[in-house]
Structure formats: structure tokens, C-alpha cells
Chains A and B, each alone.
Chain A
Amino acid sequence: MAVVYQKSTGLTDVEMHYCPGCTHGVIHKLVADALVELDLLDNTVGVAPVGCSVFAYNYFNCDMHEAAHGRAPAVATGIKRVLPDNTVFTYQGDGDLAAIGTAEVIHAAMRGESITTIFVNNAIYGMTGGQMAPTTLVGQKATTAPLGRDQAHYGQPLHMAEMIGLIGGAAYSTRVTVVDMPNMMKARNAIKKAFQMQREKKGFTFVEVLSTCPTNWGLTPVQSLSWVKDTMMQEFPLGVFKDIDKKE
């Protein structure tokens, strides 16, 4: 019998604390698999955010650093400049990256820092109890928007992948998801490509992954997958918003 799939060596044996059915675990696996496949694991430094994935430093089997809320791209910038031959990535949620840390990620992209940001967008603040995030859809219920997000009062969701795609220093910006097998394969390739482009020192690389939050959405894990496909993907279209390889 040959092993077709087993737990990635890019992940430690620590049990993940995520809620049942949260796709953070799937995205962790894709990042870990990409690092293993590209043989980068031993020379990689990851930066963990604040939010649900704050304990990511316990799960990735590479060197990890914890940053203050939203400041992961700034910390990663420092690490990358001191260790330019290492692969450096940040792993951030939408409360971290699209709210308190918007300035840091935009300026890291502007400077064209040779780092990779994995942005996990589940349209809600997960860890703190389901409050409205900048990425919450219009009409979506949250604990701080019990009647749903009111556009007149709170505006419209922030589209990070499109924003990063407009910045000169960004080499690659894409939005993917992991809610079904074909999309998971695309997400896997996108993350791998981002790390490859970082190795080639092409600039800032950004992969937004649409993820689920069954607990705070009030849905089962299986219903959450459908909600991403039927509702979230209407607001956040998948696609590549910048790829300097394609232009050349």
C-alpha cells in the first residue's frame, strides 16, 4: 500500500484549536504543503497574526514569529530585510489585515517587500465573537449588526485582493477559496506560485482565501461551504488581480 495522502510534514503534531469545520485548517495544510513541495520549510519564517489564527506559530513546522494586531507585514518586512535569503510569509485574518492592519499591508505592498501574505477572509471577526468586520457583506448579520450590515451606515465590504492588485510593488494578487476540490487545487497552486515568485524576488505576493466561520455565521460546516459559494463569492469574485508574470 502506498500512502496517497497523510498529514503534511509542514505542520506540527499539535492539535489545532479551531472550531469544527473551520477551513483555517485546510488553508494551513495548503501553505504547509507548498513549503514542503518547494523544499523551503527549513528556511522559512512565518508571522502569525492576532485573531483566530493567533496560535498558527504552534502549528507550522517552520520558524514562526508573533506580531502585534495587524502588524504582521511590518514584522515580516524586518525579518526579510535581516534574512533576505529566507522565505517569509504572514498569515492573517480579515479582522487583522483588513481592519487594524490595513496600513501595514498596503505599505508593505507599496514598498514591494519580498514577502507573501496569506489573507484568510471569512467576512466576520471570529475569535472575538462574531462582530462585523470591514469584509462583512451588506445584509450579513453579526453580533454588532443584528439586523445585518446596513450599507447607509457602515458602507460596503472592503476588497483587499483588488486593492493590492493596484499597487505598483505588488507582483501577484489573487483571490481563491477552498470550499470544493477544484477550487482547493487552484488555491494550492496560487499559494505555491506566490512562494515561487518570492524566491525569484519579484515583489510582494498576496493570496486572499475565502474561508468559513460556521460558529459565528450560525451555520453547519457543510452549509458554510455552500454559503461561500452561493453568497460570498457573489460579493468577492475569485480571480487573479495582478500577475507580473503574465504581463511580460
Chain B
Amino acid sequence: MASRVTFNQDRCKGCSLCTVVCPKNIIFLDRTITNRRGYHPATVEDMAACIGCANCARMCPDSVITVERNIEEEKTT
């Protein structure tokens, strides 16, 4: 896995701003979960498609997103 996005789902307000800035369109609101604030939090299922651009994290008004990228793996492939 080249990149990983993690959401602090308890703090997500489900505004979906992250979903529109994702160039791969892999972020969606998980309707099966309702967090303690009553929102459907953002999530990613197809993590393999993530390119680690961090657009979502920069756009998130509540800073709930952390983006990691496997730089070593990128160098070798």
C-alpha cells in the first residue's frame, strides 16, 4: 500500500468537502455509521487507489484527516 488516509471519525461533521477535492473520488460518507455527534463520517474503502496527495486533509475544516505515504515503496517501484 503506497498511501494511507485515516479519519478521526468521532470528530467528522460529514460536510463532504473532502469528497469533492479527492482526485480519485474514493472518499464517501459512510451511511452505515452515525458518530457521537450524529453525522455520517467520511471514509475510504479503496485505499489502494489513494495517491497520498493530502487534498482531503488540507480541505477538512475540522482537521480530522491524517495522510501517510510510503516513500520508501515509491522509490523502489
Question: Which A positions have Cβ atoms within 8 angstroms of B?
Answer: 1-8, 11, 15-16, 18-26, 29, 180-181, 184, 214, 220-222, 225
Contacts and interface: CB of A to CB of B under 8 A. Distances in A.
Nearest to A30: B58
Interface residues of B, number: 29
Interface in B10-61: 11, 13-17, 19-21, 39, 52, 54-55, 57-61
A180 B17 CA distance: 10
Interface of B: 3-4, 11, 13-17, 19-21, 39, 52, 54-55, 57-63, 65-71
Contacts, number: 79
Given A3-B68, A4-B67, A225 B17 contact: yes
A20 B13 contact: yes
A184 B61 contact: no
Contact of B66 (A6, A25, A181, A222): A6
Given A1-B4, A225-B20, A20 B66 contact: no
A22 B58 contact: no
A21 B61 CA distance: 7
